[in-house]
Amino acid sequence: MLTSGEVMQLIGSLVWLLAGVGVFIVGMNFMGDALEKSAGSGMKSLLEKISNNRFSGVGIGAAVTAIIQSSSATSVMVIGLVNAGVMTLMQATPIIMGANIGTTITGVLVALKNDYFNMLMYLLAFAGVMMSFFKKEKIKLIGNLCCGLGLIFVGLEVMSSEQAFGNPLVENMFTNVFQTIDFPILLILVGAIFTGLIQSSSAATGVVITMVGTGVLPLNMALFIILGANIGTCITALIASVGANANSKRAALIHFTFNTIGTVLFAAIIWIFKEPVLNLLVSFFPGDDQMSLQMRVSAFHVIFNVTTTVLLLPFVKQLVKYSCTVIKDTKEEAEPFTLKYVDERLLTTPPIALMQVKKEISNMLELVEENIHLSFVSVYDGSVEHSERIQKNEEVIDFTNRALTQFLIKLTANVEESDEKVIGAYFHVLNDLERIGDNAENFHEIGVEMLEKDIIFSDTARSGITQMREKILRMFEISKAAFEQHKKEELAELTVLEEEIDVMEKKFIAGHFARLAEGNCSADVSPYYSSIISGLERVADHLVNVGFSIVDPTGSQKVDS
């Protein structure tokens, strides 16, 4: 029995141990956030290269995970992209496999821990804190990165100190616990549960490596716990797939299945060939010093993830087919519309979210332009042939405006100051495109109503409308190129066209009233003609705003309409 003093000492050591784990996780998050923000453009370019090539998919998954230091976060992001329809299951599966390789970097860093390395990391953490007081955003990001990396090793040192694992009472307690559960399946279960609770396989691996380094946990037991951690890390992705579409759930299932197959395979090998496996790891890293003990676990973690990926990569099609068999397509009562490229799960990775928002707005721009084209079929001949298509497009345009606005409001809280200006520009573009869509719908309704009332434009009136329409279509080309590709060369022409349309509006309205006075035009035409001419002028104003939005996010070029 323990005395009351020993009980208090044990509780104090456990609190110290938990504090170390907490500091380690905070450091991981700090470093991951800083890497993600500083390498945001790099992640964008990586994900833009998504293809059906399995090897490039593995590379992308490993690189993105190395950047954000979390395979769980990568998996959640992939599920978001699959749910948004941006990525297929065939593309997502190799990326998930690569994420498991990318997450091993943290374990290697942890294994390198020694007194000299620790001292350097502590100084790095202090330097990072000092850099956070600078006003320049880039220096702050570097400071957060240094601080996070330093805190990882501060947490590790706290865990391995005399007050935590160095306490004989704690060591005896863990020794007794591990002797009780010294069975592979139980050890795998411990690793899975522990990782699921702290939502980080990197942190779980770091704790296991530290325990091996301090002698609290034997290597043969640590290997099974590491295997369990790889199953536990799937919990985050499984949770993220709740409420998502069938493909997203399949992506989460593939992640879980992939890690489970690898775990079962390696558990069987270690269970049957325990001595040869342990001897092999010892031969790679001989010696009984702390770094050698830790590197054995880290090396096993790397070997496990790389080998599992190599073995299962040829079976991507089979994994996808299996997931489709288990999770059937269901006829869900879904919303009438969904965003094509954006998913709420992408809020955790702002650079990727912004990239997807831009794609969504570009899609909205296409629909708006299509409605402008179709509406003038009605203006010219009163046709109702495209009424259903125009109405459907308009509903999608309105939905996209509302849904993206809500998404951007949520995203604003997570982005850097420089991206806030981009988000502000996106708000304006959404508003401008929605207004253009309203005008297109109005043009269509005018054409249909004129046909019903047997009213037609004179040749002169029709000619004026056609001239303005042609300039509007040219403005669409320039605005799209400026928004999607940042092409500035033709923006001067955009301004000239808008000014020409202003002049044409006044000229054509004046000409129309002159024809009315001369009796050459029916008064019944007036409200329709004036509405179309004024509407085209407003469309031109909105297109100028769209064209200058990204080039001039401050809105100084904005045209009131």
Q: How confident is the model at residue 333 (pLDDT cuts 50, 70, 90)?
A: very low
| Cβ 435 vs Cβ 561: under 8 Å | yes
Provide the greatest CA pair distance for the chain. 113
Higher pLDDT, 450 or 333: 450
Q: Average pLDDT in the 113-138 region? A: 82
For residue 36, what pLDDT is reported? 65
**C-alpha span between 551 and 538 (Å, rounded):** 21
Phi-psi region of 287 (alpha: psi -120 to 50; beta: other; left: phi over 0): left
What tens digit of pLDDT does each residue of 518-536 get?
A: 777 777 888 888 899 999 9
Nearest to 204 by CA among 42, 363, 71, 399: 71
Q: How confident is the model at residue 392 (pLDDT cuts 50, 70, 90)?
A: very high
**C-alpha span between 63 and 316 (Å, rounded):** 20
Whether the pLDDT of residue 408 is over 80: the answer is yes
3-state secondary structure at position 410: helix
Q: What is the pTM of this model?
A: 0.68
> Domains in the chain, please, with CATH?
4-326 (no CATH), 349-549 (1.20.58.220)
**C-alpha span between 22 and 156 (Å, rounded):** 10
Q: Which of 2-6, 105-109, 507-511 has the lowest mean pLDDT?
A: 2-6
For residue 334, what pLDDT is reported? 46
Q: Average pLDDT in the 301-312 region? A: 93
In this structure, which amino acid lies at residue 43? M
- Tokens 């298509």 appear where? 389
Q: Which of 11-25, 73-87, 145-159, 242-256 has the lowest mean pLDDT?
A: 73-87
| Cβ 265 vs Cβ 228: under 8 Å | no
Question: Which one of 280-289, 333-342, 363-372 scores highest in mean pLDDT?
Answer: 363-372
Distance of alpha carbon 523 from its chain centroid, rounded?
Answer: 56
Distance of alpha carbon 199 from its chain centroid, rounded?
Answer: 18
What tens digit of pLDDT does each residue of 95-114 get?
A: 889 988 888 887 887 787 76
The percent of residues above 90 in pLDDT, for the chain, comes to: 30
Nearest to 20 by CA among 144, 154, 145, 127: 154
What tens digit of pLDDT does each residue of 173-221 get?
A: 777 777 788 888 999 999 999 888 877 787 788 888 888 888 888 899 9
The percent of residues above 70 in pLDDT, for the chain, comes to: 89
**C-alpha span between 238 and 252 (Å, rounded):** 5
HSE toward the beta carbon, residue 165, CA cutoff 13 A: 21
Which residues neighbour 113 within 8 Å (Cβ) at sequence distance 6 or greater?
A: 153, 156, 157, 210, 213, 290, 291, 294
| Cβ 223 vs Cβ 303: under 8 Å | no
Q: How confident is the model at residue 336 (pLDDT cuts 50, 70, 90)?
A: low
Which residues neighbour 394 within 8 Å (Cβ) at sequence distance 6 or greater?
A: 371, 437, 438, 440, 441
> Tokens in use for 82?
């699959």
Average pLDDT, the chain: 83
First to last CA, the chain: 82
Whether the pLDDT of residue 307 is over 50: the answer is yes
For residue 351, what pLDDT is reported? 81
What tens digit of pLDDT does each residue of 27-54 get?
A: 877 776 776 666 555 555 666 566 678 8
